[in-house]
Amino acid sequence: MEADDTGPRRSDDPVARLAAQDLDPLSVAELDARIARLEAEIARTRLKREKAAAFRAAADNLFGGR
């Protein structure tokens, strides 16, 4: 992974837009629901990353990677 891989990839990056949203109008219940959705998305992203890393490791092992 290169250093630039952690930042937004394009000007309409959904994570950047999400971080820029104003949270002031949200109620405690709405904030709790938002946190739950974000935590679910984090779990989904971590699972995808784990699968991608395992796939890469298997390919490197098969093809004598780096």
The 10s digit of each residue's pLDDT in 7-55 is: 556 778 999 999 999 999 999 999 999 999 999 999 999 999 999 999 9
Q: Residue 34: how many CB atoms within 10 A of its CB?
A: 14
Q: Which residue has the higher pLDDT, 28 or 4?
A: 28
What pLDDT score was predicted for residue 12? 83
Distances (CA, A) of 36 to 2, 15, 42: 30, 16, 10
Give the chain's length: 66
DSSP sequence for 36-63: HHHHHHHHHHHHHHHHHHHHHHHHHHHH
DSSP state of 7: S
For residue 1, what pLDDT band results from cuts at 50, 70 and 90? very low
For residue 64, what pLDDT band results from cuts at 50, 70 and 90? confident
